[in-house]
Structure 1
Amino acid sequence: MVNVSEHTLVPDHTILDEPEVEDVLAEYDVERVNLPKIRTSDPALPDEAEVGDVIRIVRDSRTTDTAVVYRLVIE
């Protein structure tokens, strides 16, 4: 079976540890539940991602070299 997360067009998805999550939430002055969501069924998620984890997604961007977004893993 093909591992979609290793495809060249899929941006890097990284699970943040709790101190990193707290830094992100403080930087954007939001609560965890206010982050955009990503489902556990998304094939690009790392296998070890669990509900409640925060994922950093680093994408290529035309206007900036990279764009970083964060997603909360939901059921």
Structure 2
Amino acid sequence: MVDVSQHELVPEHEVVDEDVLDDVLEEYDIKRTDLPKIKRSDPALPAAAEVGDVIQIVRDSRTTDRAVTYRLVVD
């Protein structure tokens, strides 16, 4: 079977540490549940991701060099 997460077109997905997450949520003045969602069944998620974790997704960007987004893992 093919590991989709290793494909060159799939951006980097990484579980965010709680300390870093607290800083991000405070910076944007939001709660964890305000973040966009990503399903646990998404094949691009790291194996260590669990429901309730927040994932940092880093994409290449023409305008900002790299774009960072955050998603909450849901069931």
TMscore range, shorter length:
over 0.9
**Pairwise CA distance, 1:17:** 1.1
**Pairwise CA distance, 1:48:** 1.1
**Structure-1 separation of matches of 2:64 and 2:44:** 23
- Residue in 1 aligned with 2:35? 35
TM-score, structure 2 as length reference: 0.97
Secondary structure (helix, strand or coil) at the match of 1:23 reads: helix
Give the unaligned 5+ runs of structure 2: none
Q: Percent identity?
A: 67
Which stretches of structure 1, 4 residues or longer, exceed 3 Å deviation after superposition? none
Aligned residues: CA RMSD = 0.5
In structure 2, give the amino acid aligned to 1:8.
E
State how many pairs are aligned: 75
**Structure-2 separation of matches of 1:35 and 1:48:** 19
TM-score, structure 1 as length reference: 0.97
Secondary structure (helix, strand or coil) at the match of 2:24 reads: helix
**Structure-2 separation of matches of 1:16 and 1:63:** 24
1:21 aligns with 2:21: yes
**Pairwise CA distance, 1:62:** 1.4
**Structure-1 separation of matches of 2:24 and 2:55:** 11
Give the unaligned 5+ runs of structure 1: none
